[in-house]
C-alpha cells in the first residue's frame, strides 16, 4: 500500500538539524510566550497565566503557552458568533476557496509543520512528515469539495452555529483538521482548544489562517488545560461540542451537556483487537503489528493493542515479533532513521510503567528488546505481553503506550467473542487470506472501523468513529458532515379541532340516557397489558392506570409498568437477534403490518374519535398516514445502503450502516397512533429491537397496535411495548447498559435526564421536543430517522499483489 505522502507533491526534507533550526526560528520569532488567537488577532490571556511546553525527547522548554480562562473563552465565542452569519452566507463556493487556500498553504509549509509537530509531541519525523501533514492537507482539500457541493447535497440542512472543539495531544494537527475542516465547510465557526502538551502547530495554523485573510472570528484558538475545555463545554452560546480524548472525560462531557441542546460528538478510547487467523501471511502480520501498536509509540486511540492469534500459529507469531522488535530503532525523533520516539509526558510514562507492572503481577510474561532506551527524555521500549488472561487488566484497560498483549483462540466464533470482550468499539484489524472469512468476521465485530490485512489506514473520504464506550458520531467523509448541520423542518401544524357535532354533544351532556331508561350494565373490565417478548404480560407490580378520553371520562385502563418490566423488555429485545434477519424479510413484515393496520382502519378510526374527540376526517387522515408510514419504513428497510468511499489507495473501503442493537423509544404524546408508528418503526426497519414506552396520554392506541403485530409475523422481542408513567420508566431505560440507543420525544427536562443518564454506557441519544416536529409531514419520516437508527462501520479491504 502506498504511503499517504505519495499522493501529494514531492517535498524535499533537509537534514534533521536544518529542519530543527527552521522550527526553532519560528518559535523564537512567535514566542517565547504564545498567546490566544481570537477574532483574527493575538490576545494575551485575561488572567495573565502561562505554562511551559516541553520537548518530550529531551525535556527542553520550547516556550510558554497561554492558560485560557472563562473570560478568554467568552471573547472567543463572542468573536465566533459575530462571524458566523457572514461565514454561512458566504456560500459554499466562497468557503471552498478558503479551505482550498488552507490546504495549499499547509503543503507549502509542510516541513515547518512536520518539525513543530515532532518537537512538540515527540513522534518520529518520518510519521509527521509522511503521514500526519499530508493527511491534514487532504482533509482540507476534501472538505473544500463538500463546501462546494453543500448547497445541492445538503440543501435541506443548515449549520449549527458555533462549534467548540477539544483535541488531544497524540495527533495535534491532524485532529485539528478532522474537526475544523468539516465545521468550516458546512458554515460553522470554531473555538478550538488544543491539548495543553501540544499547542504549537495549532498556533502556527492560526497564523496560517491570518495569512490567507480568513475572516476574523471564523477560527479561534484558545490554549490551556482542562479548565479551558470545561469553559468551552459549559458555555451557553456554543452550539456543538466535538471532543477527542479519554472515555472518562467523554462521559463527563455527556453529563455536562445533557439538556442544553448542544449537539455533541465523542471520539474516545479503545482497546482494539488484532485478529490473526492460521492462514495469514505472518511476515505481513508482523509489519502490521509494528504499524498497529508501535506507530506513534502506541499513543493512538485505535492502536491494535490486543493480538488475538489462532493457537496454531501463536508461538510462531510471538517469535517473529520478538525478532522484529530487536530491529526497531528508538531515539531522537528528528532523526529520520528512528522508528519510535518519546512518550508525551512523565505522567503518561508512569501510567504505562504502572500498568505493565500490574500485568506482570497478574502472571503475564513481559518481553522487551535487549537494547536500552535513551536516558534523556521520556521513553518506553516496545513491549510484548504473553500468557495474558482475557480478564486481565492489561487486556481490558487502554494503556496508550507501546505495549501489546497476545492471546489465543481456537475457532472464529471464539475470536469474535474475544474481540468483542471489551467496553470499547473503535477499531479492529483482521488478518486472513480467506476473504469470505474476513468479511464474515468484520461484520460481527462491534467496532466503527475494521481493517482487513492492513491497519491504521485513514482518509478524509471515510468516516471514523466508535461503537459502545468509544463514543459516537463520525469524523471524515459524508458521515462526518452530519455532525455539523441540522435538518430544516416544516412548521408544526396545529392540532385538529373537534367537529361541531361532537362539541355540541359534549355541551348537551350524555347521549342515549333517556329519562326512565334502565342504567347501563357495568362494562367488562379489560386492562390493556404490556407487550414483552411477543406476548401480552401483566405488570410486575400489578398496578394499572386509568386512561381518560378528551372529555375527562374513563376510557379504559393500562398496565403501570415498572423497572422490572423495563428490564424484562430489554432482555426480550436482546434475545430477538433481529439484526441478523435480512433486510428483505424486515421489509416484508412491515408491509404486512401496514396491510393489517389498513384492514382494521375502522376500529382505529373509532378509537381515535372516542379518545381524542377528533372529527371523522381527522381520524381517517391519521390512520391513512400511519399505514403510509409503515409502507415508507418497509420501503427503506432494504434501501438504506452503504457506500464505497473513494479513498486514494488500492483499496475498497466499504461504509456499511449497521443497527445500534437495542433501542429504547419514549414515544411522543401525540399524534396518538402516528406518533407511535413514526418513532418505533424506523429502528425496527433497520434491524434494531425496540422497547417502546407508549404515549402516557393516549396509550390505548399503542396497546391496540399489539394485535397488528401479533398478526403480522413480527418475531418475539422485536417490538416490546410498555405503558405507564414516563418518569418511572424513562430513568431505567436511559441508564440501562444493555440499551445501545435511546430516542426521546417529550419535555426539555426529560430530554436532559435521558442525556445525563446515557453517560453510564455512552449510548447514542436523540432527544426532541414532542411538539416541535410536524409528524404528518416530511418531518415525521426520512433520512434523519434512519441516520439516528444506525451507525456506520467502515471496512477497509486492500487489493493487489
Catalytic residues: 267, 301
Q: What are phi and psi of 389, to 5 degrees?
A: -80, 145
Strand-pair partners of 408: 309
Using CB atoms within 10 A of its CB, is residue 518 exposed (0-12), middle (13-18) or buried (19+)?
Answer: exposed
DSSP letters spanning 458-503: --TTS-B--SGGGEE--BSHHHHHGGGEEE--PPPPPPPPPPHHHH
Integer Cα distance of 643 and 17 in angstroms = 46
Three-class SS of residue 528? strand
Cβ atoms 333, 342 nearer than 8 A: yes
The alpha helices in 305-398, defined as continuous H runs, are: 314-327, 346-361, 393-396
Radius of gyration of the chain (CA): 29
Residue 508 contacts by C-beta under 8 Å, 6 or more apart in sequence? none
Question: What is the residue whose three cell numbers read 482497546?
Answer: 271
Q: What is residue 522's DSSP assignment?
A: P
Q: What are phi and psi of 591, to 5 degrees?
A: -60, -40
Integer Cα distance of 419 and 90 in angstroms = 47
User: Nearest-CA neighbor of 473 among 59, 776, 770, 182?
Assistant: 182
Residue 542 contacts by C-beta under 8 Å, 6 or more apart in sequence? none
The alpha helices in 644-747, defined as continuous H runs, are: 672-685, 699-710, 726-735
Residue 283 contacts by C-beta under 8 Å, 6 or more apart in sequence? 320
Integer Cα distance of 268 and 449 in angstroms = 14
H or E segment to which residue 595 belongs: helix 583-599
Three-class SS of residue 379? coil
Cβ atoms 505, 496 nearer than 8 A: no
Integer Cα distance of 44 and 87 in angstroms = 26
Amino acid at each position: 500500500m502506498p504511503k499517504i505522502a505519495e499522493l501529494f507533491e514531492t517535498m524535499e526534507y533537509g537534514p534533521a538539524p536544518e529542519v530543527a533550526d527552521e522550527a526553532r526560528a519560528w518559535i523564537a520569532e512567535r514566542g517565547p510566550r504564545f498567546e490566544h488567537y481570537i477574532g483574527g488577532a493575538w490576545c494575551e490571556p485575561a488572567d495573565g497565566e502561562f505554562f511551559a511546553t516541553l520537548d518530550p525527547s529531551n525535556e527542553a522548554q520550547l516556550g510558554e503557552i497561554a492558560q485560557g480562562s472563562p473570560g478568554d473563552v467568552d471573547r472567543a465565542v463572542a468573536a465566533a458568533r459575530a462571524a458566523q452569519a457572514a461565514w454561512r452566507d458566504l456560500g459554499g463556493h466562497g468557503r471552498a476557496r478558503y479551505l482550498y487556500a488552507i490546504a495549499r498553504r499547509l503543503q507549502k509549509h509542510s516541513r515547518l509543520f512536520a518539525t513543530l509537530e515532532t518537537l512538540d509531541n515527540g513522534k518520529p519525523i518520518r510519521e509527521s512528515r509522511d503521514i500526519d501533514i499530508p493527511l491534514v492537507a487532504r482533509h482540507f482539500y476534501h472538505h473544500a469539495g463538500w463546501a462546494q457541493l453543500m448547497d445541492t447535497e445538503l440543501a435541506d440542512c443548515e449549520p449549527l452555529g458555533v462549534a467548540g472543539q477539544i483535541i488531544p495531544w497524540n495527533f495535534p494537527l491532524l485532529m485539528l483538521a478532522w474537526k475544523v475542516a468539516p465545521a468550516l465547510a458546512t458554515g460553522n465557526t470554531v473555538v478550538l482548544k488544543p491539548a495543553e502538551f501540544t499547542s504549537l502547530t495549532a498556533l502556527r495554523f492560526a497564523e496560517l489562517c491570518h495569512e490567507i485573510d480568513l475572516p476574523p472570528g471564523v477560527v479561534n484558538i484558545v490554549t490551556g488545560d482542562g479548565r479551558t475545555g470545561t469553559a468551552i463545554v459549559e458555555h451557553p452560546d456554543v452550539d456543538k461540542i466535538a471532543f477527542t480524548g479519554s472515555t472518562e472525560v467523554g462521559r463527563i462531557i455527556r453529563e455536562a451537556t445533557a439538556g442544553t441542546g448542544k449537539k455533541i460528538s465523542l471520539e474516545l478510547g479503545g482497546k482494539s483487537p488484532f485478529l490473526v487467523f492460521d492462514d495469514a501471511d505472518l511476515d505481513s502480520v508482523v509489519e502490521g503489528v509494528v504499524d498497529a501498536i508501535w506507530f506513534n509509540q502506541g499513543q493512538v486511540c485505535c492502536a491494535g493493542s490486543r493480538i488475538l492469534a489462532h493457537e496454531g500459529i501463536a508461538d510462531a507469531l510471538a517469535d517473529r515479533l520478538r525478532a522484529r522488535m530487536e530491529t526497531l530503532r528508538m531515539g531522537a525523533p528528528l532523526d529520520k532513521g528512528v522508528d519510535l520516539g518519546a512518550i508525551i509526558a512523565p505522567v503518561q510514562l508512569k501510567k504505562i510503567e504502572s500498568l505493565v507492572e500490574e500485568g506482570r503481577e497478574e502472571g503475564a510474561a513481559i518481553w522487551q528488546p535487549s537494547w536500552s532506551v535513551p536516558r534523556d527524555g521520556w521513553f518506553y521500549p516496545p513491549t510484548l505481553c504473553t500468557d495474558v488472561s482475557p480478564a486481565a487488566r492489561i487486556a481490558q484497560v487502554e494503556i496508550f503506550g507501546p505495549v501489546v498483549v497476545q492471546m489465543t483462540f481456537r475457532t472464529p466464533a471464539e475470536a469474535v467473542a474475544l474481540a468483542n470482550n471489551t467496553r470499547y468499539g473503535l477499531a479492529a484489524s483482521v488478518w486472513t487470506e480467506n476473504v469470505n472469512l474476513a468479511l464474515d468476521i468484520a461484520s460481527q465485530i462491534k467496532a466503527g472501523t475494521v481493517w482487513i490485512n492492513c491497519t491504521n489506514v485513514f482518509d478524509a473520504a471515510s468516516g471514523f468513529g466508535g461503537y459502545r464506550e468509544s463514543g459516537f458520531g463520525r469524523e471524515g467523509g459524508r458521515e462526518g458532515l452530519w455532525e455539523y448541520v441540522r435538518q430544516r423542518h416544516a412548521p408544526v401544524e396545529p392540532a385538529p379541532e373537534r367537529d361541531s357535532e361532537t362539541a355540541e354533544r359534549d355541551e348537551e351532556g350524555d347521549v342515549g340516557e333517556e329519562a326512565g331508561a334502565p342504567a347501563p350494565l357495568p362494562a367488562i373490565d379489560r386492562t390493556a397489558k404490556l407487550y414483552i417478548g411477543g406476548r401480552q404480560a401483566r405488570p410486575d407490580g400489578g398496578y394499572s392506570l386509568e386512561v381518560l378520553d378528551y372529555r375527562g371520562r374513563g376510557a379504559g385502563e393500562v398496565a403501570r409498568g415498572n423497572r422490572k418490566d423495563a428490564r424484562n423488555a430489554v432482555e426480550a429485545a436482546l434475545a430477538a437477534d433481529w439484526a441478523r434477519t435480512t433486510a428483505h424479510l424486515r421489509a416484508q413484515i412491515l408491509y404486512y403490518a401496514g396491510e393489517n393496520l389498513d384492514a382494521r382502519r375502522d376500529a382505529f378510526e373509532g378509537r381515535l374519535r372516542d379518545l381524542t374527540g377528533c372529527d371523522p376526517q381527522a381520524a381517517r387522515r391519521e390512520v391513512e398516514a400511519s399505514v403510509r408510514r409503515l409502507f415508507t419504513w418497509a420501503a427503506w428497510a432494504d434501501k438504506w445502503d452503504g457506500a464505497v468511499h473513494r479513498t486514494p489507495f488500492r483499496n475498497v473501503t466499504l461504509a456499511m450502516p449497521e443497527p445500534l442493537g437495542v433501542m429504547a423509544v419514549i414515544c411522543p404524546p401525540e399524534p396518538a397512533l402516528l406518533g407511535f408508528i413514526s418513532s418505533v418503526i424506523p429502528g425496527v426497519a433497520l434491524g434494531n429491537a425496540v422497547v417502546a414506552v407508549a404515549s402516557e396520554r393516549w396509550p390505548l392506541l399503542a396497546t391496540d397496535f399489539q394485535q397488528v403485530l401479533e398478526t403480522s409475523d413480527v418475531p418475539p422481542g422485536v417490538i416490546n411495548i410498555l405503558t405507564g408513567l414516563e418518569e418511572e420508566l424513562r430513568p431505567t431505560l436511559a441508564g440501562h447498559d444493555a440499551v445501545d440507543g435511546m430516542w426521546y420525544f417529550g419535555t426539555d427536562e426529560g430530554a436532559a435526564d435521558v442525556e445525563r443518564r446515557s453517560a453510564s454506557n455512552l449510548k447514542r441519544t436523540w432527544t426532541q421536543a414532542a411538539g416541535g416536529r410536524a409528524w404528518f409531514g416530511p418531518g415525521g419520516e426520512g433520512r434523519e430517522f434512519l441516520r439516528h437508527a444506525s451507525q456506520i462501520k467502515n471496512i477497509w479491504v486492500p487489493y493487489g499483489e
